Structures are given as C-alpha cells and as structure tokens.
Structure 1
Amino acid sequence: MASTTISGVNTGLNITNIVETMVQAEKAPKADQLSKLQTKTTAQISGLGSLKSGIASLQTVLKDLNSTALFQKRTAVSSDSTLVAASATTTAASGTYKISVGQLATASTVATSAVAKDQTFGTGNSLTLSVGNTALPTVKLPADKAATLSDVRDAINSQLKDSGVSATIVTNPSDGQSRLMLTSTKTGSGNDITLDTGGNSDLEKLAIPTKGNGSASDVKYIAMASNAKFSVNGLDLESATNSVENAIDGVTLTLTAPTSVSATANGVTSSVDKPITLTVDQDKAGVKGTIKKFVDAYNALVDTTSNLTQVTKVGDDKQPIAAALVGDAGVRQILSTMRSELGRAADGDGPVRILADIGITTDKNGKLAIDDTKLTKALDTNYAAVGNLFTGDAGLMSRLNTKLDTYTQTGGVLESRLNGLNNTIKSIDKQNESLTLRTDQLRTRLLAQFNAMDSLVGQLNSTASSLASSLANLPGVVKS
C-alpha cells in the first residue's frame, strides 16, 4: 500500500523510522509465531513423506515375497555354460543330469559352380531356392538388362530377405572365377539349400541340385544341414536346433559346443567326451535374496522412524535439536503394529511358524538380523514350509501389508494427516496475507497521525512566530 513519507521538518523527528519501528514491533510477535508454525509444519510434511516412502518401499518387497511363483521357480545350473546353458520352468523336476554333446545342429552353406566374374545370365529370368522340401518364393531377375552375378545376389537378398537365406559372391584371386555362395539359418537334417533354374540355359551354371543328384559336379557343398546329437544321462537324442525344449521336462537346453576334449596318451591324441553336469532345483538363491531384501527394507524403515523421532544433543551450551516427528504417537504405532505381526506365529504345527525358525531375529535396536546358516538350512530342509510362512492370505507378508495399507492407502492415516498439515500451510499463508494487510493499514494510519501532528506543530510554530512579531511591534514595548 502506498504511504506518504514525512520529513518531520516541523518537529525535527525521523517520522519514517519511528513509524516503521512501531509497525515492526506490532507485527513481529505474530510473524514470528507464524514463521515457527510454518517451519514446524513443513518439517512434519517432509517427515511424513519420508515415512510414507519408506513404508511403500517395504510394501513393494512384501508383495514380491508374498508370491507363490517365487517359491515355484526352478533354476538350471550348468557346470559349463559355455558348452551347454539351460533354463527351467516351474514344471521342471529337481534332479541332476549328465549332458554330452556330440555335434551341434548346423545349417546349409553351398556355392554354385564357378563362372567368370563378368558373366551375364540373360534377361527376365527367374530361379527358385528351396530349403529342404520347402520352396521359397520365386526370385525374379532384371527384365530390362542382362543379369550379372551381382544382380542375382541382390535379387535373392532383397526378395528373400525374410526367408533365412542370404547370398554373397566369393571370387578366387588366382583365376578370377566367382561363385554365388548361399547360406541358410535353418538347421537340422534335410534342410539343405537347392537352387532350381527351371531348365533355363542362361542360368544353368547357377543350378544347385541335391547333393549326389544332378550333373553340377562343380557345386561346392560347404556345410550340410544336420541335427544336433547329444545325450541325457547316456540316452542318445537328436534335435533339429541347438535350442532344445523339453528333452528334460520343463527344461530348455542351449547347446553351444561339443563336450569332447582332446587327450593325449602314449603320443596319440584322441577326442574324449567330458559331459557337463546340469542341476535342476528350486530357486533357493532367488528366495534367499528376496528375504534379504525384505529384511533390508524393514531395517531401512526402522532407521527412517528413528531419524524422524530422535532428539540430537549438539553441545552442553546449545539447545538439543528435535526431529520432525518427535513424540509422534502415529510413528510409534506403526512400529508396534509391525513388531506385533513379526512375532505372531503362523497357524498350525509345522516346522516353520515364526521368523526365528528360519534364522531371522530382532536385535537390541529393533532391527532384523539374519543367521545365514540357519536360513540356508531351513530352505534346504523345509522349503515348502518357508513358502507357507511368507505367502498366502494368512501369510506373514499379507498380514504385514494389510496393516500398513491402513497408513498408505488413499484416504489412509498418512494421507489424512498430510492433508491436515497442507491445510495448516494454507491457513498460515492466509494469516500472513492478513497480517501484511493490517500492518500496511497501521503504517498508513500512523503516518497520517504523525503527518497531522507535524502539520499542527508547524501551524503552532507559525502562530507563535506571528504572535511574537505582533507583540514586538506594539507601542511602549521595550525590546531587550
């Protein structure tokens, strides 16, 4: 609000400073009160936000551990994954298997008869490639010019780009003769590449018949398509691909290399099979890791609540610093609720009813501690019982999550408190606005009053001067 600056020329007073001092003296107590309330409320909002975040992080882990799928997972561990890798589904039975790989599944690679590098093959012709008994779409060669070997290659690669067959040109430096080399990605016996020119004489030298059939004696059968040959516990098996599903029920094998190794005896080197060991079992490591995540998340929440409710001593001559939620009954209730559930035994009389049965106990600081040896033993000997402790509607994770939902869900305890605190902040803002308005009005009123006083003093001074002058001019008045 605009105000008139008074110089105080008639009174000799610094009226602006006097008025401002009076205004601040009137404003300061209420402003200080609102500032402290705002600081405290803001700290509480931040504290409750940290608490809510910590609870949400714990709930995420609770849901992960309350999963029957977690306890149904299986692992397939190879003694040498560079030779045979594996994965397992929940249907895989636990067991140990010896896997030998004699040969990998291969795909066909062939090369046409040699031709001059600049040879052409007529115009408007076509050819058909087949992979095993499957004929691929007909490849059409240029109709507007005589096709070169490069044109044939490009036509195959562009028109059969999604078929798994590719073409390239290989040239012999010694004689300059070139061949069209064709490679397939389809493995398995009987999936060899053939190229049918339809009897076209222009394309005759590019024909690739089935090996052992036809007159194209200069064709090079570089690699024949073949099955993978392997054994499981001595039982010989074959697969058209190197990714083998359900040779062992629920297990996918990825064959990468033969399991044979070279051995030399009496100066003679021979190939000796060295099978890998494949172990299929429950995913105990995954379960243990998730249990440790639960313990870590719980302990992190305990740390959060401690930091939010502690009083820190900063020195003998200083006031202790209180955290944002010191004395907050709601925080104590959260910890009390969780500890009550953690100590509650599961129904029944099984070997695992409480966390202590699997090596998880509470230390003097209220945190959870894990005895890794005891947890490992529990998973090895009572795997299903450990799963029952954590999972299901009556399981520990579900019970904890239900209790915590009271605080974190929409309309829950924490949201209600945060809404109340945010309303307090809004009220403080309005009170600050009102205080500013009142102090502006006070400033204007005081300035007007001092202005009137200064004017009055000026008028009195003027009257006094006029009166003194008149008296001095009266006859008979002796001037001193």
Structure 2
Amino acid sequence: MAGITGIGSGMDIKGMVDAIVAAERAPKEGQLANLEKKTTTQLTSLGQLKSAISNFQSALSTLNSPSSFLARSAASSDTKVMTASASQSAQAGSYKIDVQQLASSSKVALAAINGEAKLNTGTLNIKVGDSALPGITIDSSNNTLAGIRDAINEAGKSDGVSATIITDDHGSRLVLSSSKAGEGNDITVAVDEVGVEEGRVSLSELAYRGPTSKPVLDDFTEEDEPEAAYAAALAAYEKGGQTLATAQSAKLTVDGLSVTRDSNSISDVVAGLSFDLKSAGSSTLTVTKDEAGVEANVKKFVEAYNTLMTFINTETNVTPVNDTSKPVVGALVGDASVRTLVNTIRSELVSPQGEGAIRALADMGITTKKDGTLEMDSDKVKKAVSTDFEGVAAYFTGDSGLTSRLSDKLKPYTDGGGILESRTDSLQATIDKVDKQKEDLDTRMKALEERLYKQYNAMDSLVAQLMSTSDSLTQLFDSMPGFVTQKK
C-alpha cells in the first residue's frame, strides 16, 4: 500500500507486514467468530422454540374451543337422496326423511320464428311468478332475436333470468330460464307492440302466457275437414311457445310431517340441521356428537406437545462422541428459561383435575415416556371419548381445564416483551456488539498495517542511503593514488 518496497534492503516487506498483521488479528478475530457462531445458533434455536410453542398453543386453542366438543356430525343413509350438515345447536338423534319431489325453476321456449328476421318494436314485460323484471324496450337497435336475447340477459341478471337461442325444426326460439324455484314461479311474457312495419315479424309472436294443451284429433270431428284442421292446429302448437320445465316446490316429510319449501337447500325445518336434497327417495339422517373430531384434536395436542419436547430435548442435550472428541452440545444447554418452561408444562400435565373419572391424561390412555414426550393409546382415547364425552370435555376445556392452564403458563414466553423476546433481544444486541468489534478490529489492523509499512519503508530508505554512501566511499578510495583494495 505504500508503493514499491524492499529496494534498499531487498527484504519482503509486504510479506512481513502481512504476517505481523495476521498474527495480531487472529486471536481477537477467532474470539469474535466463536462468539458470533454461538450467539447466532442460540438465536436460531430460540426462534424455533418460539415457533414450536406457538404450534402447541394453536393445538391448545383448538382443543379448548367449544366447537371442538359441541360440534355435531350429520350422516345420511343415502347420500344420493340427500346430504346434511349439523351445527352446534343440533340435538343428537335420527330422522326419517322421505323426499317426494325436488324444487325446480321455470324454463320456457317462446314461439319459433325466422332467426334472421327483424321484429316490430315495443316492450317485453317478463314476470317470474308475481315478480316482474323491468320492461325491456325493443327498438331498431335490438329488434332481432340476438338483440332481444342480449337485452333480456342484461335486464334479468339481478333477478336470475337468462335467455339463449335454440334453433329446432320449426325455427329459432328464445329460451328463457329462471333461477327462482318454487311453485307459482313460472315465466310469462307479455308484449306491448307499438311500431309495426311491413315485412317485419310481429313482436306479439314472443308473448307467452303459459302452457297450452296439445291438439287432439277428436276435437276436430265437427270440422268440414277435421284432418286438415287438426294438422294446422298441431303445426301451430308445435311452433308456438312451450313450457320446458315447470317451477315447483320441494316436497318431503320429516318423521311423517309434511314440509314444502321453494329450495332444495333447507335449513329451517329441524333446528341446527341443513338439508341438501338430491333426488326423490328415502333416507335416514343420524345426528351424533363429533367424537372423531375430538379424537383428532386430542391427537394434534399430543403431536404438538411431542414436537415441542423433542426440540427442547435436542437443544438441551450434551451428546458424548468419543474419548478424543468434544461432546456435541445443544444450543440451549444451561438455559434457565427453557428449563423453567419444561418444568412448568410437566407440572400441569401431572396435576389431577376434577372429581370425575377423567382426572388426568393417563385416565384416557395418554402417558409420559422416559424422554418426556407423550404416548397416546388411540383405542383408549376413543373409548374415553365415547363413554365419557362430557368428562373428556370438562378435563380439557373451561377456565380450569388443562388447555387453559397450559395456555396461561405459555403466554409469558411468547407474548410481546415476554421471556423469549427478551432473550432474543439480548442475543441480537450481542451480535450487534460483535459486528461493532469487527469494525473496530479492521480499523486497528489497518492502522497497524500503515504504521508497519512506514517503519519498514523508512528502514529500507536508510539502508539504501547507507549503501549509497558506502559505494561513494569505495569509489573515492579507489581513486586515491597508492590506495590498493584487496578483492577476493
């Protein structure tokens, strides 16, 4: 850094300076590296510990929720007929459901006309039962089947009415569909024709007041030509508007009681139960307590606890390797806060509670192993939930239940400003100090390097001057008369 060096002395000044700086840096640099590594490892372990505690708290919260033990399940004996769901308010029991018919909505095809023809202008008034859509204006901008279809779709989108065009053997038809099910909610179309022009199709062709009877030949026996009259009437019937689907209500019985609804999704018949009707037929609906859900939540509790304890065991263990190698030491060995956490949790797990048959985890088949983790006997847990559902609920839930007590003990560790956050802040402060000491070390080593270069360069310059003086004296002596130098 100080220019060309070693000219006078021939010494490797750069190599010497680098060696001295490296020797001076090494002890402090190694100390800082070890401290940083240890602190970073502890910081990472505390973050993982906090995550494991949070997962355990989530499992506790789920298990302590009233919905975990108040939940009900509803099963249909024939899901092709109906499915059902139950809320917490549903009472356990069974219901015989007979579905006579499903609710359906109206669908009509208006009279067939030439699909390319223009129609007269006016207004279409569409009703679904007693509900009327806004009047649809037909003018020169939309007086085709396609234009009318688009106008109906725009006007009917908020009322569940849509239109499409289907071309059959008799011509093109507007087919109107409604999403409103229930008896009496059939589609009708009234027409107010105001602009009549020659060569255009009458807008009245699109009027539809409901289904008409198909002509029967016997009705034309008094005509002069009954076959011809019948054929003309049949052709007019087939070309005219037709009902494709009639709106109807769902009809069923619940334990013999008649029920009529305008939807296949029914939630106001049996308190806490919702039905989805699929087809006509019979099904038995059984409502039970959600024992399987409770078992699953208990299993999640055990798994979350074991995950937490396994992590703590790993991070607080000292594992011997061999006689010549140092043991593997966990990042949280000797951490008093972790030791206190473990003791607190275990104390709550072994504390008996209540006066019933379920007073401890062992009473339902959950025992503690040598390493501190829990072992769950699924059959015993299932039996406990099945035979003493309320007892299991009382053990886990409520202000004095196990989950509530454990949650209270864990809060000081995970809350903002709590034990783990304070420990984390302290470790982060240590890392910040290490970074600052690294910067200070770099500054000191740079100053040392500059000082050494100055000293060695000054020495090199002095050596160069001395050698120059020596050379001058030698030349002077060589030039003196009678002065003889002896050279080997």
Report if TM-score (shorter chain) is over 0.5. yes
2:154 pairs, out of 124, 137, 158, with: 158
Pair 1:222-2:219 in alignment: no
Match of 2:337 in 1: 330
Q: Which range moves more in the overlay, 95-104 or 204-213?
A: 204-213
Match of 2:177 in 1: 183
Match of 2:218 in 1: none
Match of 1:204 in 2: 204
**Given that residues 107 and 187 in structure 2 are in contact (C-alpha distance below 8 angstroms), is that contact kept between their aligned partners in structure 1?**
yes
Match of 1:268 in 2: none
Match of 1:366 in 2: 372
Deviations 1:86-113 (CA, angstroms, capped at 9, x unpaired): 1112211111122221211121222234
Amino acid at match of 1:94: A
**Given that residues 5 and 16 in structure 1 are in contact (C-alpha distance below 8 angstroms), is that contact kept between their aligned partners in structure 2?**
no
Deviations 1:294-314 (CA, angstroms, capped at 9, x unpaired): 111111111211222234455
2:386 pairs, out of 380, 385, 400, with: 380
Distance in structure 1 (CA, Å) of the matches to 2:277 and 2:142: 45
**Given that residues 228 and 241 in structure 1 are in contact (C-alpha distance below 8 angstroms), is that contact kept between their aligned partners in structure 2?**
yes
Q: Which range moves more in the overlay, 24-33 or 372-381?
A: 372-381
Distance 1:434 1:196, change over 3 A: same
Distance in structure 1 (CA, Å) of the matches to 2:115 and 2:423: 84
Pair 1:88-2:95 in alignment: no
Deviations 1:127-164 (CA, angstroms, capped at 9, x unpaired): 2121122222212112x369333333332222222222
Deviations 1:159-180 (CA, angstroms, capped at 9, x unpaired): 222222222333333xx43333
Distance in structure 2 (CA, Å) of the matches to 1:119 and 1:382: 76
Distance 1:474 1:108, change over 3 A: closer
State the shift of 1:6 in Å: 5.5
Match of 2:50 in 1: 52
Taking only aligned residues, the RMSD between alpha carbons, in angstroms, comes to 2.6
Query: TM-score, normalising length from structure 1?
Result: 0.87
Distance 1:148 1:4, change over 3 A: closer
Match of 2:100 in 1: 102
Q: Which range moves more in the overlay, 40-49 or 280-289?
A: 280-289
Match of 1:339 in 2: 346
Pair 1:111-2:109 in alignment: yes
Distance in structure 1 (CA, Å) of the matches to 2:90 and 2:330: 53
1:192 pairs, out of 180, 186, 192, with: 186
Distance 1:94 1:444, change over 3 A: same
Match of 2:438 in 1: 432
Structure 2, gaps ≥5 residues long: 197-201, 214-232
Distance 1:140 1:146, change over 3 A: closer
**Given that residues 94 and 287 in structure 2 are in contact (C-alpha distance below 8 angstroms), is that contact kept between their aligned partners in structure 1?**
yes
Distance in structure 2 (CA, Å) of the matches to 1:4 and 1:157: 86
Amino acid at match of 1:166: S
**Given that residues 139 and 159 in structure 1 are in contact (C-alpha distance below 8 angstroms), is that contact kept between their aligned partners in structure 2?**
yes
State the shift of 1:413 in Å: 1.2
Distance 1:7 1:77, change over 3 A: same
Amino acid at match of 1:163: D
Pair 1:22-2:20 in alignment: yes
1:166-315 superposed matches below 5 A: 166-173=162-169, 176-198=170-192, 202-211=202-211, 218-259=240-281, 275-313=282-320
1:420 pairs, out of 421, 426, 430, with: 426
Distance in structure 2 (CA, Å) of the matches to 1:164 and 1:111: 17
Match of 1:319 in 2: 326
Distance 1:119 1:34, change over 3 A: closer
- Report sequence identity in percent: 44
Match of 1:262 in 2: none
State the shift of 1:14 in Å: 1.4
State the shift of 1:223 in Å: 2.1
State the shift of 1:118 in Å: 4.8
**Given that residues 120 and 193 in structure 2 are in contact (C-alpha distance below 8 angstroms), is that contact kept between their aligned partners in structure 1?**
no
Deviations 1:235-277 (CA, angstroms, capped at 9, x unpaired): 3322221111132221110001112xxxxxxxxxxxxxxx222
Distance in structure 2 (CA, Å) of the matches to 1:322 and 1:5: 50
- Partner SS state of residue 168, structure 1: strand
Distance in structure 2 (CA, Å) of the matches to 1:138 and 1:78: 45
**Given that residues 6 and 16 in structure 1 are in contact (C-alpha distance below 8 angstroms), is that contact kept between their aligned partners in structure 2?**
no
State the shift of 1:472 in Å: 5.5
Deviations 1:414-449 (CA, angstroms, capped at 9, x unpaired): 111111111111111111111122222222222222
**Given that residues 210 and 243 in structure 2 are in contact (C-alpha distance below 8 angstroms), is that contact kept between their aligned partners in structure 1?**
no
State the shift of 1:293 in Å: 1.4
Amino acid at match of 1:232: V
Distance in structure 1 (CA, Å) of the matches to 2:474 and 2:69: 110
- Partner SS state of residue 367, structure 2: strand
Distance in structure 1 (CA, Å) of the matches to 2:391 and 2:95: 27
State the shift of 1:396 in Å: 1.3
Q: Which range moves more in the overlay, 160-169 or 465-474?
A: 465-474
Distance in structure 1 (CA, Å) of the matches to 2:177 and 2:482: 141
**Given that residues 101 and 229 in structure 1 are in contact (C-alpha distance below 8 angstroms), is that contact kept between their aligned partners in structure 2?**
yes
- Partner SS state of residue 267, structure 2: strand
Distance 1:46 1:479, change over 3 A: closer
**Given that residues 64 and 398 in structure 2 are in contact (C-alpha distance below 8 angstroms), is that contact kept between their aligned partners in structure 1?**
yes
2:138 pairs, out of 138, 141, 149, with: 141
Amino acid at match of 1:106: S
Pair 1:354-2:360 in alignment: yes
Distance in structure 1 (CA, Å) of the matches to 2:151 and 2:461: 105
Amino acid at match of 1:110: V
State the shift of 1:84 in Å: 0.5
Distance in structure 2 (CA, Å) of the matches to 1:155 and 1:195: 14
State the shift of 1:72 in Å: 1.8
Match of 1:128 in 2: 125
